A and B are shown apart, each in its own frame.
Chain A
Amino acid sequence: MARGDIKFYQFLLNSFPIILLFFFALTGYSLTFQIFKINISFNFIHLIVFYWVLRKPEMLGYGLIFFAGVINDVVQNLPIGVSSINYLLLCVIASFFRTRTLVPNLIYDWILLFIALLIVSSIHFTVLAIFFDGNIRYGTLMSSAFFSFLIYPVVAKLFNQIYLLGLKQENVE
Chain B
Amino acid sequence: MSTESSRDDFIIAIRSAFLKKGNRQKFSLFTLLIISILVLSLEYFKTGPVNQFRSITKDIIFRGSYVVSSPFKYIKDKYYLFQDHMSMYEEFSVLRDKDLDLNSLRKEVDFYKSENALLKKLIEERDLFSKDYMLTKILLDKQSPYLKSLIINKGQKNGVKLGSAVKDRLYYIGKVVNVNFLSSRVLLANDLNSKIPIIIEPSGINAILSGNGNDEYAELEYLPKDNEIKENEIVYTSGSDGTIPASIPVGKIIIQDNKKYVKFYSNLNQLNYVQVNK
Interface residues of A (CB under 8 A from B): 23, 26-30, 32, 39, 41, 57-58, 61-63, 65-66, 69-71, 74-77, 79-82, 84-85, 88-89, 91-93, 95-96, 99-100, 127, 132, 134-137, 140-141, 144
Q: Is B158 an interface residue (CB 8 A)?
A: no
The A-contacting residues of B in range 36-77, CB under 8 angstroms, are 36-43, 54, 57-58, 61-62, 64-65, 68-69, 72
A140 to B32, CA, bound (A): 28
Residues of B within 8 A of A96 (CB): 13-14, 16-17
Question: Among the listed A28, A65, A93, which residue makes an inter-chain contact with B142, where contact means beta carbons less than 8 Å apart?
Answer: A28
A62 to B28, CA, bound (A): 7
Please state if A66 and B65 are interface contacts (CB–CB under 8 Å): no
Please state if B36 and A95 are interface contacts (CB–CB under 8 Å): no
Taking residues whose C-beta sits less than 8 angstroms from the other chain, chain B's interface range is 35 or more
Counting residue pairs across A and B whose Cβ atoms lie within 8 Å, the total is: 141
Residues of A within 8 A of B229 (CB): none
Tell me if B's interface is mostly helix, strand, loop or mixed. Answer: helix
A100 to B13, CA, bound (A): 7
Interface residues of B (CB under 8 A from A): 9, 12-14, 16-18, 22-29, 32-33, 35-43, 54, 57-58, 61-62, 64-65, 68-69, 72, 140, 142-147, 149, 177-178, 185, 192-193, 213
Residues of B within 8 A of A76 (CB): 142, 144, 146-147
Residues of B within 8 A of A88 (CB): 29, 32-33, 36
> With A76-B147, A85-B37 in contact, is A57–B42 under 8 Å at CB?
no
